[in-house]
Amino acid sequence: MLTSPFSAPALREFRLFESADLDETRERISRVMQPHLLVPSGAKAGLSHMDFVRLGGVGIGTIAFGTAMRVDVEAVDGYHLLMFCVTGQAKVRTRGRTVCVDQSNAVLCAAGEPFDAVLSPDCEQFILRIDTDLPGTQAWSARLGLGSHIHVDSPALGGWMQQLNLIANSSALLDLARKNDGVGRQMGRLLLELLTPGHTTAAPEPNRRTASPGFVKRAEDYMREHCGEVLRLPDMAMALGLAERTLRDGFQQFRGISPTQYLRQIRLDKAHKILREATAGVYVSDVALDCGFMHLGRFSIEYRKRFGESPSDTLARRM
């Protein structure tokens, strides 16, 4: 059992939705996380819910489906994910191995990694969502990448669990974090700092001064040439004649980000160039699809984060 069992009564007050409709559930969760596949395996549909609060670049929340469910994410995109079960259990496959997740065992999934989970009917997940562009997260993610399984009931994480419980049990703290971004950022950073020493030791910063190996440059060229297509990490690795781990670790070491994140940057830069130089009759939705973005809402969010304006704003100022 957990040294300090996790509970979240105050977090329940920040419920985003409840629904018995699978399509609505998928859409509402995608707004916070990313597009994903939901495959129910229960005898009947359940009542889904999601509670979620942003703490600056960190988000905490719970998700339950009310029935046995498979959750399939091609690659975690734009954030790192920690997940354990408040109730029930799950089998999570990531980085080529299966992690049994429950109240004592969590999985850490780095940005760019696949996430495939089979959840028990009574499973309620706790999720910690960590933005990849959060200051200092690059070094933290390097340590994160050393392993995907942690014991959240270990003595080393006692302080982290106590702090997590304190936040999730305080309506006043959660409400303050929502209203005051500075306070929220401090709460989020504290959770990360408390988590890190309990999981791994320090790792060196990614080495981007050393000349990149040839396969990284070949991968970059391949991404630019095929960025409008549906590209998954296994497909890219196969096309380049590489092991997935080699491709992933090479980008992490020499570019400081995952191959999936690098591909997204290429796609965003291409979309930006097209919109800036567009002639009459060009639509944002068409540009997004041509650049490999299947989810228009996600495209708009990532575009604004990178360029400081919406795609439609860029189009309106075209040359």
Domain assignments of the chain as residue spans, ordered by start: 11-199, 214-316
Per-residue model confidence (pLDDT) at position 318: 66
Per-residue model confidence (pLDDT) at position 198: 53
**Torsion of the alpha carbons at 39, 44, 45 and 49, rounded to the nearest 10:** -100
Q: Report the alpha-carbon distance of residue 90 to residue 103 in Å, rounded.
A: 10
CA distances from 221 to 127, 207, 216, 258, 287 (A): 35, 20, 9, 15, 21
Per-residue model confidence (pLDDT) at position 125: 95
Beta-ladder partners of 59: 54, 129
CATH fold label, 214-316 = Arc Repressor Mutant, subunit A (1.10.10)
How many Å is the Cα radius of gyration of the chain?
20
CATH fold label, 11-199 = Jelly Rolls (2.60.120)
CA distances from 191 to 168, 179, 215, 235, 268 (A): 12, 19, 36, 35, 31
Per-residue model confidence (pLDDT) at position 133: 76
Per-residue model confidence (pLDDT) at position 63: 96
Per-residue model confidence (pLDDT) at position 123: 95
Task: Output the tens digit of pLDDT for each of the chain's 319 residues.
Answer: 444 578 889 999 999 999 999 999 999 999 898 888 899 986 677 899 999 999 988 999 999 999 999 999 887 888 889 999 999 999 998 777 788 999 989 998 888 778 899 999 999 999 999 988 776 666 555 555 544 678 888 878 888 999 999 999 999 999 999 899 899 999 998 998 888 755 543 333 444 444 567 888 899 999 999 999 888 888 898 999 888 888 888 888 788 788 888 898 899 999 998 998 888 788 899 999 999 998 888 888 888 888 888 899 888 876 5
CA distances from 93 to 58, 70, 153, 160 (A): 23, 11, 21, 25
Token look-up 């975690």 returns: 76
CA distances from 301 to 71, 277, 307, 311 (A): 23, 21, 10, 9
